[in-house]
Amino acid sequence: MLKWFVVVVIVVLVSGLIQPGLARRLRLGYLPGDVAIRVRGRSYRFPFATTLLLSLLAWLLLRAL
C-alpha cells in the first residue's frame, strides 16, 4: 500500500511540473469545446474538451498495460 502511495505522489509531482510546458506546446485548453469566459477583466477557462481528451488518452494507456 505504501509503495502505491509513493508512486502516485511521484506521478502527480512530475505531471504537475511538466504540465505547463506541455500545455504550451500542445495548445491544451484551446481546443474546440473549451470554454473561456471574461468577467470584469478576469478570464476564466473551463477546458471540457481537453479534459475529455486527456481522460481518453489515460484510459487507453492504462487499458494497454
**pLDDT per position as a tens digit, 11-33:** 889 988 888 888 788 888 888 99
Whether 37 has a pLDDT exceeding 90, the answer reads yes
Retrieve residue 16's grid coordinates: 504537475
Give CA–CA dist 31/5, Å, rounded.
Answer: 33
Residues in the chain: 65
Q: Give the pLDDT confidence of 44-62 residue by residue, as tens digits.
A: 989 999 899 989 998 998 8
The count of domains in the chain is: 1
The answer to whether 45 and 61 have CB atoms below 8 angstroms apart is no
Query: What φ, ψ does residue 23 adopt, rounded to 5°?
Result: -65, -35
Which residues span the domain enclosing 20? Answer: 2-64
Please provide the distance, in angstroms rounded to a whole number, between the alpha carbons at the two ends of the chain.
20
